[in-house]
Amino acid sequence: MEYKITKQAIFLKRTNRFIAIVIIDGVEEIVHVKNTGRCKELLIEGASVILEKSDNPNRKTKYSLIAVYKGDVLINMDSQVPNGVVAEALREGKILEIGEVSFIRREVTYSNSRFDIYYEKNGKKGFIEVKGVTLERDEVALFPDAPTLRGSRHVYEMIKAKEDGYEANLLFLIQMVGVKYFTPNSEMDKEFAKALRLAKEKDVNIMAYDSVVRENSIYIGKRIEIQF
């Protein structure tokens, strides 16, 4: 997935979940933040960030914050892109555990949840729930970075889909390179970690992939080990 127009800036502070103040070409600018998570480990005063310029002249903010440098590593923190990145990879046959598919639909309701991707292949039907991962500590990727009741519900609903005969997949898209493995963040959300371990026991296909991140693009990378 590619962004049309991007620009570097310096992060100053975040005033709320949606808004941050940055310095662009020496001038302070209010920008939209495309991630409502805490991101405290990333959005640090003085950090180099990447902005996407909006093509909507009526929008209140000209730019959206989409990525941040953590040392030499560029981390995409746009929470709106993981679904599209995975759907694109699925269409191109890059998710080897699923293989070639004949039909894809985004945002499909099942039971009490809405899964990110529905697909069909060789007479089989399946779902993929995508979770974007931006939290990294000591080369380990973790999810979530805040308690997520919605995330746990998605996992339990995916178990139900598996029991109902669908192919059931959970894919954690790590929005960076350089991690050694992925693990659920039990310290932050014990219920989510518990749900994920149960999904593994129930044969839900759980995957983690890293991403090839550039200032103006993000694409799926390679499969990453998961440790429970």
Question: Quick one: DSSP state of residue 177?
Answer: S
pLDDT value at residue 77:
97
pLDDT value at residue 38:
82
219 and 117 in a single domain? The answer is: yes
pLDDT value at residue 45:
97
Q: What is the CATH number of the domain that holds 165?
A: 3.40.1350.60
Instruction: Tell me if 9 sits within 8 A of 49, measured CB to CB.
Output: yes
pLDDT value at residue 116:
97
106 and 172 in a single domain? The answer is: yes
If residue 163 lies in a helix (H) or strand (E), which one and from where to where? helix 149-163
Instruction: Tell me if 186 sits within 8 A of 144, measured CB to CB.
Output: no
62 and 86 in a single domain? The answer is: no
Final residue of a domain: which of 76, 91, 108? 76
156 sits in the region (left: phi over 0; alpha: psi -120 to 50; else beta) called alpha
pLDDT value at residue 134:
97
Tokens of 94: 């890059």
CA 163-168-170 angle, to 5 degrees, is 135
CA distance 136 to 62: 29
CA distance 198 to 183: 14
pLDDT value at residue 37:
84
Total domain count for the chain?
Answer: 2
Structural domain containing residue 22? 6-76
Taking only the tens of pLDDT, the chain with its 228 residues reads: 999 999 999 999 999 999 999 999 999 999 999 998 888 899 999 999 999 999 998 899 999 999 999 999 999 999 999 999 999 999 999 999 999 999 999 999 998 889 999 999 999 999 999 999 999 999 999 999 989 999 999 999 999 999 999 999 999 999 999 999 999 999 999 999 999 999 999 999 999 999 999 999 999 999 999 999
211 and 157 in a single domain? The answer is: yes
CA distance 174 to 55: 28
If residue 150 lies in a helix (H) or strand (E), which one and from where to where? helix 149-163
Instruction: Tell me if 180 sits within 8 A of 216, measured CB to CB.
Output: no
162 and 193 in a single domain? The answer is: yes
Asked if residue 1 belongs to a domain, the reply is no
pLDDT value at residue 170:
98
Q: How far apart are the first and last CA of the chain?
A: 30
Tokens of 133: 């991962």
